Amino acid sequence: MGGMSSKLPETSWSLLLAARTQNQARRQSAVENLVHTYWKPVYCYLRRRGYGNEEAKDLTQEFFRRFILEDKLVQAADRELGSFRQLLTTALKRFVSSYQRDRTRKKRTPEGGIISLPSVELIGAKGPISEAAPEDALYYAWVTNLLDQTLAETKRQCCDAGMAKHWQVFHSKVLAPILEGNDDLSLKEICHRYGVESEARASNMLVTVKRCFKRTLKRRLRDLARSDSQAEAEFREILAFLS
Amino acid sequence: MEGESSTFGLHREKLAKLWKMGEDTPNNQEADNAESPKVELLQALLAESLSLDAGITRMLPDIVSVVFEKLKPFTGCSYREILLNPEADPSVLETIKNLHKRRAESASGPAQEVAAIIYYASIAGALVHHDTRITKLSYEGLSQSFENLARSDWLPTNIRQLFDRAHKYCIRRMKQREK
């Protein structure tokens, strides 16, 4: 499935750099991309810090404006050479401290914000982060973000490579039981449903999609890290967080 | 996630199941590669069963009936099983070789490449298991081909090992010839 996309997604680091370019169009695109990708972890952190839905959304916008467009927050965090998540977390903590020190500071984010954030209530009363510490809420949202992006990209790769059926098999056998609580179908049922000639073939199809998922996840982790070893450590850390 | 349910809201143990697919384990430690369509095609071809179908019967004028009889015990076995089976008769391997030579000649892209893998694997099997060369290709040429194939990360481990053994076999034969 390699080579089916002519252009890999930019890394978050390159987007951060692009967000400070003089080129207006490029800056706008990079900013929107970063906010679109990372607003949820920031928002979840702020909600668990005690801010209500609307205030948390406003602060999310304001944070990204300062995080991306002003260097101070980034420079301070960047010295630590951590992963992108660590950079974002450190910058966010400093932002909240600064905000609490100066609540009279006028908001400089324009009405409507950098991008329009969804208006749905994200934190359910009995959700997995309803009682989580703010950092854990950020971490949780970060991980689910990463998984959603990885799954979406894996699906795209399958379809681009003419393997839509592979994705359907994988979705039915692996994803739907996890995401939707569906019954775990046997390979025999999968073969019958999708016209796959044998269980061995269906098994091979699953392996192919899983390999694609693994490659994509590892690449995304690497994009967010400073080194291979840091990416590997991040993988292990997240696995420990989820276990 | 486009058109799909999001993972946000799932409990951690469910997220862990998904996350673990990214783990390097013995089951998924086949080399990461950018050639999955070929991998998939090869796996499918290796899993195909030898059948005395049109592909084989078209070759009948070229093979004597005794070979046909030798093929029979292996009908229903996958190509993978036959290629790796030391008991597979050289004539069976030669039939598989010829069949996949024709497939490779009539195919293109990944399909051609995987047919060529089976072609070379048949030759390798005959050399390694029966000390028999079922091709007119020279040991020098074969040695080079087997060496390259043995290095191909996207091939299954046992097939790569077969190519590695065949490469070494060819080196030995070349050295014997020099004496």
The minimal CB distance from B8 to the residues A144, A175, A218 is found for A144
Chain B nearest-CA distance from A160, in A, is 12
Answer yes or no: do A242 and B15 touch at CB < 8 A. yes
Q: How far apart are CA A154 and CA A214, in angstroms?
A: 9
The minimal CB distance from A151 to the residues B4, B32, B36 is found for B4
In chain A, residues with a C-beta closer than 8 Å to the C-beta of B19 are 143, 147, 238-239, 242
Q: Please report which confidence band the pLDDT of residue B106 belongs to, taking 50, 70 and 90 as the band edges.
A: confident
| A121 domain residue, yes or no | no
Q: How far apart are CA A56 and CA A71, in angstroms?
A: 22
**Average of pLDDT values for A226-240?**
89
> What pLDDT score does A107 carry?
54
> What pLDDT score does B32 carry?
43
- Domain range holding A148? 12-107+131-242
Least confident range of A58-62, B73-77, B137-141: B73-77
> What pLDDT score does B30 carry?
46
> What pLDDT score does A44 carry?
92
Answer yes or no: do B34 and A2 touch at CB < 8 A. yes
Answer yes or no: do B23 and A239 touch at CB < 8 A. yes
> What pLDDT score does B37 carry?
64
The minimal CB distance from B8 to the residues A141, A212, A217 is found for A141
pTM: 0.60
Please check whether residue A77 is in contact with residue A87, taking contact to mean a CB–CB distance below 8 angstroms.
yes
| A36 domain residue, yes or no | yes
Residue of chain A minimizing CA distance to B12 = A242
In chain B, residues with a C-beta closer than 8 Å to the C-beta of A165 are none
Answer yes or no: do B11 and A128 touch at CB < 8 A. yes
Answer yes or no: do B40 and A124 touch at CB < 8 A. no
Q: Does B22 touch chain A (CB under 8 A)?
A: yes
Residues paired with residue B49 on neighbouring β-strands, in sequence order: B78
Answer yes or no: do B32 and A211 touch at CB < 8 A. yes
pLDDT for residue A140 is more than 70:
yes
In chain B, residues with a C-beta closer than 8 Å to the C-beta of A141 are 8
CA distances from B59 to B56, B97, B101, B108, B177 (A): 5, 12, 12, 22, 34
Chain A nearest-CA distance from B72, in A, is 23
Domains: count for chain A: 1
> What pLDDT score does A236 carry?
93
| A116 domain residue, yes or no | no
Q: Does A164 touch chain B (CB under 8 A)?
A: no
Work out the mean pLDDT of chain A and round it to a whole number.
80
> What pLDDT score does A150 carry?
94
For the stretch A174-209, pLDDT in tens is 999 988 887 778 888 899 999 998 888 888 899 889
Report which of residues A44 and A70 the model is more confident about: A44
Q: Does B60 touch chain A (CB under 8 A)?
A: no
The minimal CB distance from B36 to the residues A1, A152, A242 is found for A1
| A1 domain residue, yes or no | no
Q: Does B29 touch chain A (CB under 8 A)?
A: no
Report which of residues B61 and A120 the model is more confident about: B61
Touching B: A residues 170-209, CB under 8 Å: 171, 174-175, 178-180, 198, 200-201, 204-205, 207-208
Report the percentage of chain B scoring pLDDT > 90: 36
Report the percentage of chain B scoring pLDDT > 70: 74
> What pLDDT score does A6 carry?
36
Residue of chain B minimizing CA distance to A232 = B23
The minimal CB distance from A147 to the residues B7, B36, B44 is found for B7
Q: Please report which confidence band the pLDDT of residue A219 belongs to, taking 50, 70 and 90 as the band edges.
A: confident
Report which of residues B129 and A116 the model is more confident about: B129
| A125 domain residue, yes or no | no
For the stretch B126-166, pLDDT in tens is 999 999 999 999 999 999 999 999 988 778 888 999 999 99
Fill in the amino acid letter for A38. Answer: Y
Answer yes or no: do A207 and B28 touch at CB < 8 A. yes
Q: Please report which confidence band the pLDDT of residue A90 belongs to, taking 50, 70 and 90 as the band edges.
A: confident
Structure tokens at B89: 């008769």
| A112 domain residue, yes or no | no
Contacts of B33 (CB under 8 A, 6+ apart): A2, B39, B153, B154
pLDDT for residue B29 is more than 60:
no
pLDDT for residue A101 is more than 60:
yes
Q: Please report which confidence band the pLDDT of residue A171 belongs to, taking 50, 70 and 90 as the band edges.
A: very high
| A16 domain residue, yes or no | yes
| A78 domain residue, yes or no | yes
Answer yes or no: do A1 and B34 touch at CB < 8 A. yes
